Amino acid sequence: MHDDRTLVEARLKRVLDERIRPAVYPESVPLDVAVWHAPGEPVPVAEGLAAAPEPIEVGARWGAPWGTSWFRATGTVPEAWAGRTVEALMDLGFDENMPGFQCEGLVYRPDGTPVKGLNPRNQWVRIGAPVEGGEQVRLHVEAASNPVILDYHPFLPTQLGDKETAGSAPQYRLERMDLAVFDETVWQLVIDLEVLGELMAELPVESARRWDILRAVERALDAVDLQDVGGTAAAARALLAEVLSVPAVPSAHRISAVGHAHIDSAWLWPLRETVRKVARTTSNMTALIEDEPDFVFAMSQAQQWAWVKEHRPEVWARVKKAVADGRFVPAGGMWVESDTNMPGSEAMARQFVHGKRFFLDEFGIENDEAWLPDTFGFAAGLPQIIKAAGSKWLLTQKISWSQTNRFPHHTFRWEGIDGTRIFTHFPPVDTYNCSMKGSEIAHAASNFKDKGVARHSLAPTGWGDGGGGTTREMIAKAGRLRDLEGSATVVWETPERFFEKAEAEYPNAPVWVGELYLELHRATLTSQAKTKQGNRRSEHLLREAELWAATATVRTGFPYPYEELDRIWKTVLLHQFHDILPGSSIAWVHREARRTYEKVAEELDGIIDAAQRALAGEGSAALLFNSAPHGREGVPAGGAGTPLVEGEAALAPRVNGGYVLDNGLLRIEIDARGLVVSAYDLGAGRETIAPGQAANLLQIHPDFPNMWDAWDVDEFYRNTVTDLVDADEIVPGEDGASVRIVRSFGASRVTQVLSLAPGERRLGIDTEVDWHETEKFLKLAFPLDVHADRYASETQFGHFYRPTHTNTSWEAAKFETCSHRFVHIEEPGWGVALVNDSTYGHDVTRTVRDTDSGTTTTVRVSLLRAPRFPDPETDQGVHRFRHALVPGAAIGDAVREGWRINLPQRRVTGSREVAPLVTVDQDAVVVTAVKLADDGSGDVVVRFHESHGGRTRATLTAGFETAAVTVTDLLERPLAGSATPGRDGDRVTVPLRPFELVTLRLKRA
């Protein structure tokens, strides 16, 4: 037989595009349309429905950037259509290639009942099936004219990302507002042909199955009368029935489809628009659930559920019913799909506390899975947090975006820093917006790396980010793929059911130890410095507020601010979303975030001040309140007292220019350029700075990645570097032993103060940058005379090690990484820590010196970037950073100094010292939270972990009379299977493994 395959395939494409798809709606009549443009921010539904609209014609332009327009569409069903299925077709000016990134609408009935969302791939509204002739139609559309930020030529700087700079030019053209007859048979024929055509294209050319499908498609196309598609569609379908009924082979890959609509809680739109995106999508999905009995939809992010409950109660009622029916599934058990690299220990824990508690309170449902398809890599401390929250599974997708190395598994057990293992799945479909295309299903099956030992994978199915979620077309395709030869099999299932099957079939899944590093989007550790500083400061203020409020409540009867703390925690957790904290959102988002963090700080400072004054009482004695988990200046952790400062520090001129700082522990030499050329540990007799090099060196690089401006830094940025060594001014500082250095470069200016305090083995580095560069990357470098093949980075509830070398592509790819409060580098017996109060990104490299063959290990912290997309003004303005170099530091010193720089001392006048509410006798054990139990019982909750990476036995002593002690999970519930801690009065002894996390609930007598 002659090979006519390409001829038939080309014929199929044209006939589908030009004849069969248009015949789905064979008849139509226009609707009468009027519009009212809301003058400012979105208005309540009742106000939009009651507004007086003006007529608008199809083809007219509408919609200023970020505006809201209320369309009213009215019409009459023709008498001739009686008994047929009729739908309204409403095209607001959509581009079908960009679902979720443009205008959207939510359709209402005149009484305010939501019907469904309008999206580029979902433009229909069912009027009736069947309808009555003469039926009157009236629909209202709340349309959002969100501008297109990420266009066909992506990453171009735009002012559209903030309503204050976006202008008022109409963004869209109204394309269609019709009533139309819907031909169900033709629509089904379209699905048949799409499924078979897409499957055919994925099969080997030499396979018999491919040719069976080709001939069946050819016969069906022959049966279609192109002038009467509706009249011949049934006959064409009949000719396809046989090839559509051939079952899959027993070894076929098995896909669990989960209805999904990944909605970024903010990104190329502000938070307020996400509230509406979620309402549109949930309206769509609850309507689809009513029509499709097999369909299951899962939605993560408790915050988004809470928005529906608060802002769209009419949609919420439908959601609650669908949840009760088991069809609309709360997923993930987190407040938002947060970044996991940068949130601190307690914040990461509270993501699960608040997320799981919301689903438990509202629905009585507890999530066993963490659901993070789009997060930019996963910190090594996360597994034990997931387990401590009562969950046991993790789903992610983003690792498929890695540029350098392909991850070796799709299903595996992920081991964290304490040894906890979490069963993890990474869907081989390589998208969290699966649309059931044949190419996607075939890719999932062929890409699956665990063949031979496992057969199941998951496919999150639906358009995200306001694209409307799963469509009826996706469900129809999945129905045909349920058991079809040549394809993986597809069945709709909940995440829970998938994980149960996947874990049961793969009990000996391979283990991956350590972080799940994304080899992409590394610059999210630096972009939008003020957002990151706001997060870090808020986390530590929350710690202080809970600690002092709990202490004051127990000691003085101070009213514990349960509601305020709950609300503030949720605000901070929301802003840890994986496009807010990473700095990858539009200008509007980060402008609002800065204001929000200012309000959070003001409110928390007020709580802290009130609690501390209640504790200190009236009086004039100067008391130091120590919020850190270690003693400071003679004041115990979590207590307040009179500080003791021993020793002194001196400033002297240096020969050949510059200054010397000396406090008897360290001698710091600052040369005439304002660079640190010596940091000598007097006790150890050891130099910190590599010979012939200088620390506190500001370096600037060009920064123009190939893609994803705010997200990415590409390794070639290192090829060009400028050392900022010229100083405008080097003078003694105003306070104690300190030196002030001023430098100018480009359009920017840096002021630094280097200081050495009495009795402290650390060099303080305060940096103020007035930053006005674009597409530049600013680093602060410390070349250290330390030979180390690894270094420690702090992460949640501990630290882990990364190599300093680049032996393999995996190590080389980690050229920009995350740490929390410290980086620590050590030779046996002597190390150096670099601690910070607000930066995350850093790099560590090693070289061997020609002069003495010694090793220089250089630590550089990332200060600022200046990408122009999606916020063209990223990081412009004044920034302040605090770092400290700690020579002679063991890992415990790094932990202590990291906490210290983030929890500056507070001085309050009063009359009485304050004993800690709880004390721990081991320096290696860090208390991360002291608070009252969330249930209002008055019980004291203490969370702590081993921080040095070794075993220990710690005794915790309560500063109040206790009646009982219980080991709990993060949600403060008794932890099943945990041993009862040894208790002697108000003392509790707990053994801890390396980095083990423990939560105790102390019942007050």
Active centre residues (catalytic): 374
CA–CA gap between residue 117 and residue 284 (Å, rounded): 5
CA–CA gap between residue 47 and residue 334 (Å, rounded): 34
Give the DSSP letter string of 121-174. Answer: TB-EEEEESS--TT-EEEEEEEEEE---SS-SSTT---STTSTTTS-----EE-
**CA dist list (Å): 428 to 284, 438, 770:** 27, 14, 46
**CA dist list (Å): 912 to 312, 622, 625, 636, 643:** 51, 10, 12, 15, 13
Rg (CA), the chain: 31
Select from 944, 788, 822 the least CA-distant residue to 893. 822
CA–CA gap between residue 134 and residue 131 (Å, rounded): 9
Helix (H, G, I), strand (E, B) or coil at 420: coil
Q: Kindly state the tokens that stand for 688.
A: 């910190």
Please say whether the beta carbons of 475 and 462 come within 8 A: no
Total Cβ atoms within 10 A of residue 851: 8
Q: Kindly state the tokens that stand for 966.
A: 């219980």
Residue showing tokens 């500080």: 643
Please say whether the beta carbons of 867 and 802 come within 8 A: no
Q: Kindly state the tokens that stand for 623.
A: 């008391």
Beta-carbon contacts of 264 under 8 Å, excluding residues fewer than 6 positions away, are 274, 374, 464, 465, 577, 578, 579
Q: Kindly state the tokens that stand for 39.
A: 């003058």
Select from 989, 988, 939, 917 the least CA-distant residue to 629. 917
Instruction: Provide the residue count of the chain.
Output: 1005
Select from 579, 337, 370, 373 the least CA-distant residue to 459. 373
Q: Kindly state the tokens that stand for 725.
A: 């060594």
Q: Kindly state the tokens that stand for 26.
A: 């064979």
Residue showing tokens 């674009």: 774
